[in-house]
Amino acid sequence: MIGYERAIEIADLYYDDVYSFCLSRLKIEETADDVTREVFLFFQEHYEELTDDGSGAVACNILCDLLGHKLETGTTVQIVHNARTTAPKCLEKMDSYEICSRCDYSKYTLISSKYISCC
């Protein structure tokens, strides 16, 4: 079971999406207080499912499944030194990535790779 404070942190991360979720499902459009209450009601309903090691990782995965990831995308270059024995030896790989800023979801896709002389 995750702690109350962590639960609030997580609720905060998902606040905007929970708000839209509440709005689309319940057709409520009231004051911020009411929406905040909805967020916590929503959270309480799912609290049972949110048991994990205490980090809230499982909770985030469940909520992301429900509400969608908040993705950050970009590209990254990685060099594998001495990837092979003949020159050029080092392998430069470029990946595109998408990482969720809320759960542990991440996906890397290789865009290109080439051998370079660097060592």
Query: Applying CB under 5 A, which residues contact Zn ion?
Result: 64, 69, 81, 90, 100, 102-103, 105, 118-119
Residue 12 vs 34, nearer CB to Zn ion: 12
Residue 90 vs 94, nearer CB to Zn ion: 90
- Alpha carbon distance 109, 42 (integer Å): 35
Distance from the first to the final alpha carbon of the chain: 49
Residue 30 vs 65, nearer CB to Zn ion: 65
Least distance CB 64 / Zn ion (angstroms): 3
Residue 34 vs 55, nearer CB to Zn ion: 55
Least distance CB 89 / Zn ion (angstroms): 7
Least distance CB 33 / Zn ion (angstroms): 27
- For the chain, helix, strand, coil in percent to 5 are 45, 25, 30
- Alpha carbon distance 103, 50 (integer Å): 13
Amino acid at 75: T
Least distance CB 103 / Zn ion (angstroms): 3
Cβ–Cβ under 8 Å, residues 14 and 42: no
